[in-house]
Amino acid sequence: MHLNLAYLTAEALLAGQPQRWAHSQRVLQQAQRLAPMLGSDGDLVIVSAILHDIGYAEPAVDTGQHMIDGARYLARLGTDAAICSLVAYHSSSAWEAEELGLADALADFRPPPPPLLDAITFCDLTSAPDGSLVEAGPRLDEVLQRYGPDHVVHRAVSAARPTLLAMAERIERRLTHFPDQPMNGSASARNP
């Protein structure tokens, strides 16, 4: 799926959720910032970024786990498996799926390459719910506050927090050293 179609699809699906749309647009901008470092995978992460939260849109809601629901919706549209995978696994998805007994549903999608999962998760964690920029730590703290201790998201994010922060830190570090250390082999072709 090309970015124009992905953008229009997400915009239409999230039309009733202006905050979510503002957040998604910021996630897209963060992905565009990372793209040169991602080499040939940059476009994949950019397209996945604008689509990553469409599972919150009413036509997509299925299991109630928005990462899986977004990926399922995209799969029904015939979207590339690589995009579906990034949407399915972004941020705390694996932990939420485990909490909800949806690990098998998540496993319908192939786990994405770790550097790309780091990238989309970094973009999500550095974009606040209102679309402003934020650091990953405070962003996760806000999620934990928003969902009470008994909520599945709270439990999942608590468990995932160290891993998610490490993912974001890996990207920060690579950004600091880019273009000396592109993120994958294919990157070197475009960023010699």
Residue nearest to Fe ion (CB): 124
Binding residues for Fe ion, rule CB under 5 A, total 2
Q: Does 69 bind Fe ion (CB under 5 A)?
A: no
Residues whose CB is less than 8 angstroms from the CB of residue 180 and which lie 6 or more positions away in sequence, other chains included: none
Cβ closer to Fe ion: 75 or 134? 134
Cβ closer to Fe ion: 25 or 79? 25
Cβ closer to Fe ion: 51 or 102? 51
Q: Does 96 bind Fe ion (CB under 5 A)?
A: no
Cβ closer to Fe ion: 41 or 124? 124
Q: 104 vs 65, 108, 130, 137, 151, CA distance in Å? A: 13, 7, 32, 29, 21
Residue pair 146/130 in contact by the 8 Å Cβ criterion: no
Q: Does 53 bind Fe ion (CB under 5 A)?
A: yes
Q: Which of 144, 36, 51, 156 is nearest to 103 (CA)?
A: 156
| Site of interaction with Fe ion (CB under 5 A) | 53, 124
